Amino acid sequence: MRLRDRHAGVFAREFKLLEEMTSATVSRRVTSAALIGGFAVIALAISLVGLYGTLSMQVEQRRREIGIRMALGASRVSILRMILNQGARILAGGLVVGLAGSLAAGYLVRHMLYGVGPADLQSISWAVALLCAAGLCACLAPAIGAIRVDPARTLRAE
């Protein structure tokens, strides 16, 4: 029996391109990745607004103290450094908690990861660098507002 004879009665019902077959199998993962990425962007925006708001409130509460420091001779650079250090401490606390949560969540979704592990050092390093840069930007506005405090006006107001 020849090969041609064995498959003589077999007909293909449906023809699909390889591209269609791969897109059908990958589309669910692509959708999941896009959804997770969208939630990550929203979470980043919420955290930056929270950091900005917290630091702005603290600068506003310390406006009198900042005015007194400036009246006694503190430079704008030292005031800027003080506010940025305060923001950096808040940011560092958030990064520590976020890294712990990220590692725990990474092990829960490790079956969805392709080409990276749940504790991929390069991915985590890039994420930390992005968060630090964005956090610095969120801290700059309240810090610049703090160095614009007028000591004379602050000391007159009660």
- Nearest 10 degrees: CA dihedral of 112, 117, 122, 123? 20
Residue 82 has pLDDT above 90, yes or no: yes
Helix pair 76-108, 18-61: axis angle to 10 deg: 140
CB 109 within 8 A of CB 29: no
Q: Rounded mean pLDDT of 78-90? A: 93
Q: Rounded mean pLDDT of 63-71? A: 91
Q: What is the pLDDT of residue 100?
A: 92
Structure tokens at 122: 């390069």
Of 157, 158, 155, which Cα lies nearest the Cα of 68?
155
Residue with tokens 């896009």, as numbered in its chain: 34
Residue with tokens 């606390």, as numbered in its chain: 93
Q: What is the pLDDT of residue 17?
A: 77
109 vs 59, residue with greater confidence: 59
Q: Helix (H, G, I), strand (E, B), or coil: what is residue 52?
A: helix
First to last CA, the chain: 105
Whole-number Å distance between alpha carbons of 47 and 91: 10
The DSSP secondary-structure symbol of 73 reads: T
Q: Using one digit for the tens of pLDDT, what is the confidence trace for 18-28?
A: 787 777 778 88
For the whole model, what pTM was predicted? Answer: 0.74
20 vs 100, residue with greater confidence: 100
Q: What is the pLDDT of residue 139?
A: 93
Q: What is the pLDDT of residue 6?
A: 59
Whole-number Å distance between alpha carbons of 105 and 92: 20
Q: Using one digit for the tens of pLDDT, what is the confidence trace for 36-49?
A: 899 999 999 999 99
